[in-house]
Amino acid sequence: MPLQPLQTLGTPLTAFPKSTRARLIRRTTGSTIALSLVLAASCRDSISGFGAGVRARASSDQFFGGLADRHLELVRNAKYEYARVQISRGALSPSRVFDDTAAWTAISGNVRLLETFGAVSDAKYVMSSHRGVSAPAKPADARHLTTLSKVSDSQYQWDTSVDFGLGSAHPNDIALVITHLLAAGEGLNEREARAELAKSAPHASATLGTLFTLDSLHPVSLGDGTTAVTVVISIKSEQLKARFPAYSEYVHKYLDPSRFHVAVSDRSGLTYFDATAKDRLLTVHLRSQNGHLVPLAGPSKPIPDTLVILADFTAKLKIFNVGFHDLSLDFVNSARSDQERAWTVTARKEPHWNLPFITARLIRAPLRFPFAGEGALFRMALRAGTGDQPTVLVRQSRLGVQESAILKFINSLSSTAMDDFGTRVEHEENQWLHEVFIALRDDARGVLTP
């Protein structure tokens, strides 16, 4: 049922190039990420991961405020505007951009580099490409490095690294917020969980209510001391139309018909987390005990640091449904300290592809190339700064590309989604996400009042 107006909650895409993820998937699922964060802010135990008193208030303000600032009106310098378009269009056909000197800030042998810095200036978020960009010095500062290496005549490798300033919160603080979030249903029934959500997150609930409705938030206390939680959320793109008509249409066109399933298991097959999106419904299953995830069924045991993610994903591009199923990803909790928390996902096995019938005669060997050798990689980390430097969110990815007719066809499909994500859609999405993170900041202030 709809809430007042909302008392409410990506797909591993290592196999796809950065540009495709960035425009089609990252943009349409950014709101889902924001919705996950609102649950963190909505639970007093979750937001208490920042600590207590003045320090906690400052850390929370910088964290959510920095994310809000990233979604101010976006301004790009001419270098970055040109480079991002050319790189996006050459994501799966890198030879198109490899020799374009105007798209890079540095060239050395078979390596090309684009350096970009993002920061707040005059109440706008300015992204500028130039040589020698610096590390983030304050919340919302970002350093983007995109590298293209030529391996052979038709084989290339994309490497990307983004450092984003989060402020004074330590990596363990942020990790604790996430841990408390996953166990937020412990000791509560559905009525109590909804009441806590409504009390603790009124601003974020109202903002997110323009796109999501919480249909079910159902924690069940089991006899062994564990709590099983099922969350069901409706995606209501039509509710955005009044204020964000272009963004509403984009979400309706690309997110509404998309489907995915993600299951996180240990190597013995015990499942710890399951999420499905289909028919505009997102359903999440988890089970926790004493603040930690445990298997969805069977005896309680701590979640290990090494896991397997199995993913299916389908999206509609033009008239085609494209995607994959049985994508197996190795997940490793690769660093655990107050100086750095890190999680690494690696794909070394080609999934089964869902592609249009007209591609049947095209050679599909290039689809296996990203998974060869060390495989495709995505790494996310929280790294403490030194001195006055902020804690940064680090995102790194690696993807191999072997040029071919089939990749050119896929690139042509994804280009449609990128073209549709024009200036007006991007502006409205940024405005909406800015409002979400400001609401999260304000709700966190209410929880962390000294």
| Total structural domains within the chain | 1
User: Tell me, what's the pLDDT at 88?
Assistant: 86
- Backbone φ and ψ for 209, nearest 5 degrees, come out as -65, -15
Cis peptide leading into 245, omega within 30 of 0? Answer: no
Radius of gyration of the chain (CA): 22
- Any domain includes 155: no
Look up residue 290 and give its two tokens. Answer: 């004493």
The answer to whether residues 437 and 67 touch, using CB atoms and an 8 Å cutoff, is yes
CB atoms within 10 A of CB 373: 9
Strand pairing class (281-289; 74-76): unpaired
Confirm whether 110 is domain-assigned.
no
Sequence-ordered alpha helix ranges (H) in 209-268: 245-250
Q: What is the DSSP string of 17-36?
A: -HHHIIIIIHHHHHHHHHHH
Q: Which long-range contacts (CB under 8 A, 24 or more apart) does 380-383 make?
A: 380/342, 380/343, 381/335, 381/340, 381/341, 381/342, 381/343, 382/166, 382/171, 382/174, 382/175, 382/340, 382/341, 382/342, 383/163, 383/171, 383/339, 383/340, 383/342
Reduced to 3 states (helix: H, G, I; strand: E, B; else coil), residue 204 is helix
CB proximity list for 332: less than 8 A, separation 6 or greater: 305, 306, 307, 343, 344, 345, 346
Which backbone phi and psi does 348 adopt, to 5 degrees?
A: -120, 0
CA separation for the pair 414, 323 (Å, rounded): 11
pLDDT at 90: 87
The backbone torsions φ and ψ at residue 413, rounded to the nearest 5 degrees and listed phi first, read: -70, -45
Classify residue 286: in a domain, yes or no. yes
- Is the CB of residue 95 less than 8 Å from the CB of residue 115? no
**The pLDDT value given to residue 24:** 38
Token code pair at residue 242: 């009044």
Using left for φ > 0, alpha for ψ between -120 and 50, and beta otherwise, residue 402 falls in beta
Please check whether residue 328 lies inside any domain of the structure. Answer: yes
pLDDT along the chain (450 residues), means of 10: 29 36 40 43 60 84 95 96 91 92 97 98 97 96 98 94 95 81 74 80 86 88 92 91 93 89 95 94 91 92 94 84 90 89 94 78 78 93 92 95 84 69 86 93 81
The amino acid sitting at 272 is: Y
- Please indicate, yes or no, if residue 237 is contained in any of the structural domains: yes
Place of tokens 């929280």: 382
Q: Is residue 11 part of a domain?
A: no
Amino acid at residue number 448? L
CA–CA distance, 117 with 128 (Å, rounded to integer): 5
Residue 113: inside a domain: no
Q: Which two tokens stand for residue 204?
A: 């974020």
What is the domain range of residue 279?
Answer: 18-97+166-447
Q: Alpha helices of 70-185 — where are they, by DSSP H?
A: 78-89, 95-98, 171-182
Q: What is the pLDDT of residue 253?
A: 87
Asked if the structure places residue 9 within a domain, the reply is no
In the prediction, which pLDDT does 205 show? 84
The backbone torsions φ and ψ at residue 276, rounded to the nearest 5 degrees and listed phi first, read -135, 135
CA 252 to chain centre: 19
